[in-house]
Amino acid sequence: MNTRINAAITAVGGYVPDTVLNNAKLEKMVDTSDEWITSRTGIKERRILEAGKATSDMAAMAIKNLLNNTGVNPDEIEVLIIATSTPDHQLAPTAPLAAQKAGLKNAWGFDFNAACSGFLYALSVAASLLESGRHKKVLLVGADKMSAIVNYEDRNTCVLFGDGAGAVLLEPSKDAGAVLDTVYRSDGNGVQFLSIPAGGSAEGTTEQTLLEKRHYVEQDGRTVFKNAINGMTATSMEVLEKCNFTTEDIDWVVPHQANLRIIDVVGEKLGIAKEKIKVNIQRYGNTTAATLPLCLWDFQNDFKPGDKLLLTAFGAGFTWGSTCIIWGGLRNNNKK
């Protein structure tokens, strides 16, 4: 008898701040244009969290949205994983704070940092906690307040990022729902092409680093662009093979939302029709660890139980990879 426990996504939630930073506003802040941003990235607007609020606030809002829509008792949540690159504090993880704000009295939790691949990597960790039989309800949140680490005088980066949070509940599967298989990679050489150089243990904050604005995101966009296309395409093909799927078998692709051109080229290389590829970058920009769960939240009504989803991401590190999941029935019947 097959006694394997599968982990399924049984609920999704999300939160984006009300404040919209559109391309017209950015035109007044840096030397850029709506035409440049739209044609090079696909982004029209992004959300910005209000002053005084932190990543834990957005994570808590996404969790509350999920719990309110499903009626799951917050006391039943055993584990909370927050994938983020923008923790509230350098010391003191964000997960306990978010758990407190969301009213999760019985959850232990931790932060998970793999930049834009954070949610994807952590999905495998969260699934393992269920597959082992050790836990029955695990919440995984991808949340990033990118506006806290972006230099709004640098047109190379400030047009790309936004703030947001998405949450999924994982439970032992009662139907076909499952996190099937993963192909993940990392390459530490990537740090020279995308990082926040100062403020960590490698280079502490000094007057000089602040003057040089080395505590903000810096990147070589072209190198990241090429590596993202190659990495997402290669791991997608590998994970499809591991799952014995062809691209024809895939119902939906949920890609990291960094640049519409990256998404389009990956789709073309994989030979997957555009209609199957989920895109909301035009509204939120790149919300780092939040892009995948925000897509699952936005498009949940399109996914049917039994659908095969291919999730793929690329981010700082470099970190990248792909996962195949089978969509199960949601607790709220896929009603947002």
Cα–Cα dist 236/323, whole Å: 7
Nearer to ligand COA, 56 or 287 (CB): 287
Q: Which amino acid is at 170?
A: L
- CA 127, CA 135: separation in Å to the nearest integer? 10
| CB closer to ligand COA out of 42 and 87 | 42
Return the residue nearest ligand COA (CB atom).
221
Does 120 participate in binding ligand COA (rule CB under 6 A)? no
Give catalytic residue positions: 116, 256, 286
Minimum CB separation from ligand COA for residue 303, in Å? 24
Of 58-66, 74-82, 94-102, 216-224, which segment contacts ligand COA by CB under 6 A? 216-224
Near ligand COA in 50-69, by CB under 6 A: none
The span from the CA of 231 to the CA of 220, in Å, is 16
Tell me which DSSP letter residue 49 carries: P
- By CB under 6 A, the count of residues binding ligand COA is 21
Beta pairing class for 163-172 and 194-195: unpaired
Task: Name which of 159 and 294 has its Cβ closer to ligand COA.
Answer: 159
- Continuous H helices in 103-205: 118-131, 155-158
CA angle 87, 62, 149 (to 5 degrees): 30
Instruction: Decide whether 118 or 177 has the Cβ nearer to ligand COA.
Output: 118
User: Are the C-beta atoms of residues 123 and 140 closer than 8 Å to each other?
Assistant: yes
Which residue of 225, 284, 299, 327 would you call a contact of ligand COA, by CB under 6 A?
A: 225
Q: Minimum CB separation from ligand COA for residue 263, in Å?
A: 10
CB distance 289 to 85 below 8 Å: yes
Residue type, 132: S
User: Angle at the Cα of 85 (from 267 to 137), degrees rounded to 5?
Assistant: 80
> Residue 256 CB, nearest distance to ligand COA (Å)?
6
Q: Which is nearer to ligand COA, 228 or 295 (CB)?
A: 228
Q: At its nearest, how many Å lie between ligand COA and the CB of residue 118?
A: 11
Q: Do residues 183 and 321 lie in contact, with contact meaning Cβ atoms separated by under 8 Å?
A: yes
Q: Which stretch binds ligand COA (CB under 6 A): 98-106, 218-226, 232-240, 323-331?
A: 218-226
x/- track of binding to ligand COA for residues 155-194 (CB under 6 A):
xx--x----------------------------------x
- CA 276 from centre of chain: 19
Smallest gap from Cβ 23 to ligand COA, in A, equals: 9
Q: What does the alpha-carbon distance between residue 33 and residue 27 come to, in Å, rounded to a whole number?
A: 5
Q: What is the CA radius of gyration of the chain?
A: 19
Which residue, 118, 195, 165, is CA-closest to 294? 165
Quote the least distance from Cβ 4 to ligand COA, whole Å: 34
Contact flags string 5-44 toward ligand COA, x per CB under 6 A: ---------------------------x---xx--xx---
CA 18 to chain centroid:
19
334 contributes a contact to ligand COA by CB under 6 A:
no
Verify binding: residue 284, ligand COA, rule CB under 6 A.
no
Instruction: Tell the smallest beta-carbon distance from residue 216 to ligand COA (Å).
Output: 13
- Under DSSP, the state recorded for 147 is G
Residue bearing tokens 């080395």: 214
Cα distance between residue 17 and residue 39, in whole Å: 25
Q: Which residues contribute to the site for ligand COA (CB under 6 A)? A: 32, 36-37, 40-41, 116, 155-156, 159, 194, 219, 221-222, 224-225, 228, 258-259, 286, 314-315
